[in-house]
Structure formats: structure tokens, C-alpha cells
Amino acid sequence: MSALVATRAPLGRQLRSELRWILRRPRTVIGLALLCLVPVLAGIGLWVATGDGGPAGPGLAAIVDGNGLVLPVFTLFLALPLLLPLVGAVWAADGLAGEAQHGTLRGLLIAPVGRVRLLAVKAFGVATATLLAVTLLAVVGTVVGLVLFGGDGMLTLSGSTLPAGAALGRIALAVLLVTVQVWGIAAVALAISACTEHPLVVMAATMAGVIVFSVLGMFSALDWLQPYLITSAWNGLVDVMRDPLPTEQLWRSTALAGCYVLIGLSLAAIRLATKDN
């Protein structure tokens, strides 16, 4: 027993190794770089639209002119329905299905490392990379928004103007809320990833589920189902742009995403526990 404990790698070393494995892959670097183009392209598009003398569009886009700190929040909500879930699904697919496809998962399963611990390390890597992606999106959006639209505060949907410090706090809150939602999708993707050796199957199944959930949320006859669909809570996240800040919908959407995280990781743990070496 003592020999087994002695050969077990420290948890901190495993977490650092997982992060290096994720962040050093060329496709990860390329993906993050392309993700940073989203606020740039969105900002340029809104800047051109507002240059015609009219509003850039409905919702947050209508108040972005002269209010650059709105752009990062607008960009986060623009990327949430498809782009960010795809990013989370890609990393989740590589974490288990990708390892299985390349034959390295077998070695990890027979190593003196608990399977639940292995899943925790993989989930940590996916969660950290997702947080990094969302944060980069918001930081680039903030810089682009200030450069193109200026402004020293944030005009809210309630008509009030928040000072710069409070506005940055709202952006940070939006980053946290959106990240938790993506974690919910990524956890389900990890559960799917534990059941297959093909990363493309994981990405396709995850994105198909997101699209199906979005479509189901459009039917009034299925109102009883909407409280259980993670995508139905995304529209309520715009409350982060209201003053005073309403918290009921934000807490509900965060709790729902937390349930998806718990269910997804539980299913992945059950599958790994019964997976053949």
C-alpha cells in the first residue's frame, strides 16, 4: 500500500500537466486566437452600423454607441448559444475520447491514479480552459469597445449609467455567469466523451443537444419543459445589464447549470468506474 501511494503523482503536478497539455496544443492556441476575433468583428460591425446615424440593432446593440463597455457583454451573449458550447465540447472531447482514440487513456486507467481523480483532473482542465476563453473574449471586447465607442461608464437597459468600476464589475459577473453555463454543457460533453472513442461524435452529439434544446424552448406547448432546459435560461442572463441588479433569474440559471455539471460529471464518473482497462 505504501509503495502504491509513493508512486502516485501529486495532485498539483497532475493539474499543471493537464493545463500544459491543453494550452500547448496548436489547435487550442489557434482556437483562442480565432475566438478573440469575435469581439473585433462584432465591434467593427456595430461601429459601421452606428455610423449611419441609427441604432445598431435591438437589445444591447441599441445602446452600444458611445457606451463601449457594453460590447464585451454583448459579445459574450452573442457567443453563448453556439460558439462557446462548441469550445467546451471540443476540450471535453479531447479530454477522454481523444485520449481513448490515441490509446493513451488505457495507460491512464491502469496507472496508480483513481478514476474519479482522473476525471477530476480532466474536468479541471476543461473548466480552466473554458474560463480562460470566456475571459479573453471579455477582455478583447472591453478593449475594442473602448477604442471604437469610447465612454467612461456603462449605460444599462434600465436607463441608468454605471461608473467605470461598477461597469467592470458587471462585465466580470457576466464572465462568471456565462462560464458556469458553458461548464454545464462541457460536463455533459465529458459524460458523452467517456462513452466513445471518437471526439467528433462528442462534438456532434453535444451541439445537436444544444440546438434541440433551443428549438424545444420555442414552443409554448412545452412551457412545462423549459425550466429544465439549460438553453432556456440564457436569455435571462441579460439581467446583468439592469440597474438595480435583479438576482432571481441569475440565481435560477446558475443553479440549473450547476445541476447539469453535477449530472454530467456523475455520469462520466459512473462510466469511467466501469470502463475496461
Amino acid at position 98, single letter? G
Residue 15: inside a domain, yes or no? Answer: no
pLDDT per residue over 88-121, tens digit each?
999 998 878 876 655 455 445 545 567 778 888 8
Is residue 242 in a domain?
yes
Q: Which helix (H) or strand (E) holds 164?
A: helix 164-193
Residue 268 domain-assigned (yes or no): yes
Query: Residues, the chain, total?
Result: 277
Integer angstrom CA distances of residue 230 from 1, 22, 80, 225:
44, 26, 12, 11
pTM of the model: 0.89
Domain that holds residue 151: 26-275
43-56 mean pLDDT: 74
Structural domain includes residue 149: yes
Answer yes or no: is pLDDT of 178 > 90: yes
Q: Percentage of the chain surpassing pLDDT 70? A: 86
Q: What is the largest CA-CA distance in the chain?
A: 74
In a domain, 9, yes or no: no
**Structural domain includes residue 17:** no
Closest CA to 269 of 128, 121, 131: 121
Q: How many domains does the chain have?
A: 1
Q: Classify residue 13: in a domain, yes or no.
A: no
Residues 187-208: tens digit of each pLDDT: 999 999 988 888 899 999 999 9
Q: Look-up: residue for cell 460529471? A: 265
Q: What pLDDT was estimated at residue 9?
A: 61
* 6 domain-assigned: no
Residues with Cβ within 8 Å of residue 137, at least 6 apart in sequence: 35, 36, 38, 39, 72, 75, 76, 79, 84
Decide if pLDDT at 262 tops 90.
Answer: yes
Give percent of the chain with pLDDT exceeding 90.
51
